[in-house]
Chain A
Amino acid sequence: MSVNILLFKITLLFYSVATVLYLVDVVRRKEKAGKTGKAARWILIGGFALHCATLLARYLEAGYTPVANLHESLSFFAWTLVGIFLLFDIRYRMTVLGAFSCPLAVILMLVGSTASNTVKELNPALDSWWFPVHVTLAFLGNAVFTVAFVAGVMYLLQERMLKSKKFSALYYRLPSLDVLDSINYKCLSFGFPLMTMGIISGAVWANSAWGGYWRWDPKETWALITWFLYAALLHGRLTVGWRGRRAAIFAILGFLCLLFTFLGVNLLLSDLHSFKAMEGP
């Protein structure tokens, strides 16, 4: 087993332990984080550091930014997701956000660990500095929108309880609607520029690799659909005063589109962005 795979497995272990601790803390306490919540945060930070090492080891072994097959992409996605969550955690200190986000990272890693993890040659046409720039921007945008999705789900749950006046145990543990809505807005104002730059950098790279900015391949089309969805939400928020439930629903729809753009297109529709096309001859 090569170093990066070993590190990957240890990282997955750390993330799983952090997830369990986050869930335990949320079940046991309300709102304010207890000792378990703090332990969860530190273990997650440790896992993130290990994940950085994993990616570095993989980079050194493969010789390219490790986002060229399903295993690598899922790992990279989980890495950006945990990183973005930790950034949000500095501001919001919410155990319950961790309890909702970390399981997603663990799922990504688990699926990633079942995918083939052999290092293959990168298609020489794609070997350019635009590669790391494009994928990093795209995945950071994905991660920020994932947090928006998580906040959206929490918003809908909390709003449902406040409207119906039937309170489950979750009511006491979820933050206020205002906080969840402000997370939605923050994610949008960071995620949208990241996604936009991801698409632009992709176009520039496509021009240098394939000699054309835009080819309407399924990935590009779906990315554009997703982009329009988020653009509509941002516009609605800024001008008409969309917020709350509608913004949460949009964040959830946007995330589903995003997921399809990321996974569905690569796995179901073969095209220039498929992992097959990334391999060398």
Chain B
Amino acid sequence: MMNIIVVGLSHKTAPVEIRERVAFSPTDMGRPLHEMRALPAVVEAIIVSTCNRVELYAGSHDAEACVGQLKAFLAAYHGITPELLEEHLYDYQGEEAIRHVFRVASSLDSMVIGEPQILGQIKTAYGYATEHKTVGSVLNRFLHKAFSVAKRVRTETDIASNAVSVSFAAVELARKIFGSLDGKKVMLIGAGEMCELAARHFLNNGAASVMVTNRTLERAVKLAEEFQGQAVPFEEFPQHLHQVDIVLTSTGAPNFILGQEKMEEVIRQRKNKPMFLIDIAVPRDIDPKVNKIDNIYLYDVDDLQGVVQANLKERQKEAKKAEVIIDQEIGQFSRWLENRDVVPTIVALRKKFEDIRQGELSKTFSNLKDLGPKERQAIEALTAAIVNKMLHPPTSVLKRNQETASGSDYVDAVRTLFDLEIAPEEDDSEIS
């Protein structure tokens, strides 16, 4: 029967020095896909290659041989000795392979659980494979199923709903304070990569304007231009504090540049409208006592890291819910996979014909009550022979094509033509 095989390595099993050596170039996916597809045990082929993982997905009738061939292929294609690669490689087949791909697509196997890129990367990989026609009906359906599982995980759990970077964590905290960020004003004191990144996030999320100040005015002017904001001389920034809702500081000052008294005055000027202060500088720019003032929320780098840690823990909790969803979906998909095998199809086909024969026989016999046992036997034999003769060609075609790529198409055709199963639900038929 057709089996799903996964061979690969990821950030969990291989260091970057290895990962970069086996990565496939996105500009030239045709050659490796065709070479992989040409391996004797491989019927269908997909190659997923990202900076964190390289994985080969195959449909095969001979799992053991397939695993060996895929490992050899990966090493040979990149000119690495197989022994070197072996310790980093994992391989899965059957339900374990299905689980692995569902988990990867749902971002449960990612370095940062719940990060959204991986699904897009798998969709791209699937796109290359369909473009080069190396996928058949099994991997086709399998990948679509994986996409729908990932979608379900994303909508039914909160796996991706909390920020896991410091600058995004700042934006989320601001949302918990201000509700919407629309129209909020940001002040950037000093320059620093993280500060600028956070300011950009604030702008992208609705903040109205950025005011920039720096000890060197030119630097401030340059940054202000970048943000289409306003530059303020460093000596004057305290006078503007009451106009802004969010303050980001990262100066190299050895002492606090903002103290409790100054901020108490500012909050009075603002009529207690809340302020969010983010101090990314080390040593810190803002006296921690400022956090005690009502309606001012002061966060330093460690506080933000703490938020990120808490969010990661939340994601891990959500990941447990996701595993339950995946368990359900695996059962469904492997039932489909088993059903589409040749042997059960032939059995089902025979049963269907036998049922029809028996039904018609009993009808005829009940109408013709005066038939003797001999005549009955003759009619039985006749009908059985007709059914056998009629079923012989389709059965042998199915058997003959069992090991070929088109085999699954014949199975599909027979199942459809003779109505051998209720069509599986099509909730997963669309790719979004």
Query: Do A29 and B158 form a contact, CB below 8 Å, given A165-B299, A167-B307, A246-B294?
Result: yes
Contact A30:B179 (CB < 8 A) given known A163-B297, A172-B314: no
Q: Is the CB of B177 within 8 A of A177?
A: yes
Known contacts A165-B306, A167-B307, A172-B314; A245/B178 CB under 8 A: no
Q: Hey, what's the 0/1 contact readout for A230-246 against B, CB within 8 Å counting as 1?
A: 00000000001111111
Distance from B364 Cβ to chain A, minimum over Cβ atoms (Å): 55
Contact A165 B303 (CB under 8 A): yes
B384 interface contact, C-beta 8 A: no
Check A177–B294 contact: CB distance below 8 A.
Answer: no
Closest CB of chain A to B266's CB: distance in Å?
Answer: 13
A182, chain B: closest CB distance, angstroms: 8
A176 contacts B176, CB within 8 Å?
yes
The verdict on B395 contacting chain A, using a C-beta distance below 8 Å, is: no
With A30-B158, A165-B303 in contact, is A245–B295 under 8 Å at CB? yes
- Whether the Cβ atoms of A172 and B162 lie closer than 8 Å is yes
List which B289-305 residues lie within 8 A (CB) of chain A.
Answer: 291, 294-295, 297, 299, 303
- Which residues in chain A, 164-192, are within 8 Å of chain B measured between CB atoms? 165, 167, 169, 171-172, 175-179, 182
- Say whether B294 contacts A244, CB under 8 Å: yes
List residues of B (312-346) whose CB comes within 8 Å of A's CBs: 314
Residue A11, interface by CB 8 Å: no
Residues of A within 8 A of B158 (CB): 29-30, 172
A178–chain B nearest beta-carbon distance, Å: 4
Chain A CB within 8 A of B255 CB: no
Contact B176 A165 (CB under 8 A): no
Tell whether B161 is near chain A: CB-to-CB under 8 Å: yes
State A29–B156 Cα separation when bound (angstroms): 9
Q: When chains A and B are docked, how far (Å) is the Cα of A243 from the Cα of B178?
A: 13
Give which listed residue, A29, A30, A172, A178, contacts B177 with CB less than 8 A: A178
| Given A241-B271, A243-B272, CB of A165 within 8 Å of CB of B179 | no
Question: Beyond A158-B176, A165-B299, A177-B177, is A244–B161 a contact (Cβ under 8 Å)?
Answer: no
Q: Number of contacts between A and B (CB, 8 Å)?
A: 55
Query: Of A178, A245, A246, which is within 8 A of B179 by CB?
Result: A178
Q: Are B177 and A176 in contact (CB under 8 A)?
A: yes
Which residues 232-279 in B have Cβ within 8 Å of A in the complex? 271-274
- B162: which A residues are within 8 A, CB to CB? 172
| Residues of A contacting B12 in the complex (Cβ-Cβ under 8 angstroms) | none
Whether A241 contacts B272 in the complex (CB less than 8 A), given A176-B175, A176-B178, comes out as yes
Across the interface, do B295 and A171 meet the contact criterion of CB distance under 8 Å?
no
CB distance from A197 to the nearest CB of B (A): 30
- Known pairs A165-B306, A167-B307, A172-B162; A244 contacts B179 (CB<8 A): no
Query: Is B310 at the interface (CB under 8 A from chain A)?
Result: yes
Determine the residue in chain B with the shortest Cβ distance to A29: B158
Within the complex, the shortest CB–CB distance from A96 to chain B, in Å, comes to: 13
Residue A60, interface by CB 8 Å: no
Q: Are A162 and B176 in contact (CB under 8 A)?
A: yes
Counting CB contacts under 8 A, is B173 at the interface?
yes
A223 CB to closest chain B CB (Å) equals: 29
Contact assessment for B272 and A244 in the assembled complex, using a CB-CB cutoff below 8 Å: yes
| CB of A32, distance to nearest CB on chain B (Å) | 9
CB contacts (< 8 Å) of B310 on chain A: these are 167
Of A158, A169, A240, A243, the residue contacting B295 (CB under 8 A) is A243
B299 touches A177 (CB 8 A): no
Q: How far is the CA of A243 from the CA of B271 in the complex (A)?
A: 9
Q: Do the beta carbons of B178 and A178 come within 8 Å of each other?
A: yes
0 or 1 for each of B171-197: is its CB under 8 Å from A? (1 = yes): 001011111100000000000000000
- Of residues 239 to 274 in A, which have CB atoms within 8 Å of B's CB atoms? 240-246
The answer to whether A244 and B307 touch (CB under 8 A), given A30-B158, A176-B175, is no
CA distance A165 to B178 in the complex (A): 16
Contacts of B173 on A, CB cut-off 8 Å?
162
* Shortest Cβ distance from B268 into A: residue: A241
Provide a sorted-by-A list of 22 A–B residue pairs whose CB atoms are within 8 angstroms: A29-B158, A162-B173, A162-B176, A162-B297, A167-B307, A172-B158, A172-B314, A175-B179, A176-B175, A176-B179, A177-B176, A177-B179, A177-B274, A178-B179, A178-B180, A182-B179, A240-B271, A241-B272, A243-B273, A244-B294, A244-B295, A245-B294
A-contacting residues of B (Cβ < 8 Å)? 158, 161-162, 173, 175-180, 271-274, 291, 294-295, 297, 299, 303, 306-307, 310, 314
CB-CB nearest 3 A-B residue pairs:
A241-B271, A178-B179, A176-B179
